[in-house]
Amino acid sequence: MTKTDPSRLLSRCAQLLFAAILVAGCGGGGSGGSSSPGKSSFTAGPITATNSGSVVVKNTTFDVSRAKVADDDDRARGEGDLKVGMLAEIEGGEITADTTGSRCNATSVHFRSAIIGPVDAINTSTRLLVVLGQTIDVLDTTVFDDRFPNGPFGIVVGDIIEIFGTLDTSTGHYVATRIEPAGDAPFFKLRGVVANLDIRARTFTIGGETISFARVPPHEIPAGLANGTLVTVKLQKQMVEGSWIAVTFQNAVHQLAEHNEIKLKGRISDVLSATQFSVAGIPVDARSARFRPDGATIVLGADVEVEGTVTNGIVIATKVEIEKDDEHGHGNKDENENEDEHEDDNKHKNKD
């Protein structure tokens, strides 16, 4: 009987185990197969309707009955805190569509306001407010809290208000989607783009207002802070020597996790080129994407729907669709766009 060398036996077992792992990794060795990750979605925009257990954002009805609801500070909130006009960022599963519309099961909802601060000036003829030095455009569609029964005519200079809305970087104005009283706010807040950053003096400006972050601990300063960074800053309620004093501040761009298939819906917030831009602050690389309708161009402030993957926080787009939409989500795709969407769905089904 031949004696087996134990070391050779262990080596052979290791080789067989490694080969089995390779086979399993390549999909061999069984009929069970592996399941691919489900599609996901990220949608940013104003809430245009609320119902029991659901909200509507960008023409999609989201079931929020099982979703995590939180505010800017990631504090847990409830479904009842979601109100028409609030800016929401919604993560969910696949967005599906039929003859009654599109819908999705939300996994998390964050609602975020843009400004909390005192009213500096009011111009009812041009429908402008100035709050914390920022110009606010009030539209016919701007929602006023019930505590303002007379709408903009119920606001006076000096009132502390909270504004939900988006920054139009082409004009520097904020477009208000909802306005609420905030007289009991413990701090002021400003969500905007950093300019005139002075690292040595530890100051920057947002919309012309100087903000000092000298009292913010170094480890709490957002990584990669630079001019052009979108941030949310909490401020002391009194200026000091002409500057607002930052209590805390953070990068305001939502960080997407890695996804194999994602649908991103929102407004174009920045344009670097015809194929590189941002949607709700999230960078998109569309150099290999198909654009719909044919010949569509990227325009700052346009509503888009992007399909692709997420790598290192960047959406690598395979399809970009310019939507006929407005800030409050009223609008629909044209017939050709709907046909294109159904065509893609059919291709996906056939592939499966």
Taking 50 as the threshold, does the pLDDT of residue 269 lie above it? yes
Q: What is the pTM of this model?
A: 0.79
Does residue 15 form part of some domain?
no
| Domain count along the chain | 4
User: What tokens were used for 350?
Assistant: 């056939």
Domain carrying residue 300: 259-351
Which parts of 169-272 are beta strand (E)?
173-181, 188-193, 195-198, 203-206, 209-212, 230-235, 244-251, 259-271
Which of 315, 303, 309, 352 is CA-nearest to residue 60? 303
pLDDT tens figures, 127-172: 899 999 999 999 999 999 999 988 888 899 999 999 999 998 888 8
Among 112, 134, 164, the domain boundary falls at 112
Q: Are residues 236 and 264 in the same domain?
A: no
How far is 98 from 342, CA to CA, in rounded Å?
Answer: 10
How far is 133 from 101, CA to CA, in rounded Å?
Answer: 41
How far is 191 from 202, CA to CA, in rounded Å?
Answer: 18
Q: Are residues 295 and 245 in the same domain?
A: no
Among 166, 181, 196, the domain boundary falls at 181
User: What tokens were used for 247?
Assistant: 């209590």
Measure the CA angle with vertex 77, ends 112 and 89; round to 5°: 35
Does residue 31 form part of some domain?
no
pLDDT band at 179 (very low <50, low <70, confident <90, very high): very high
Does residue 18 form part of some domain?
no
Does residue 1 form part of some domain?
no
Q: For residue 37, what pLDDT is reported?
A: 54
Does residue 324 form part of some domain?
yes
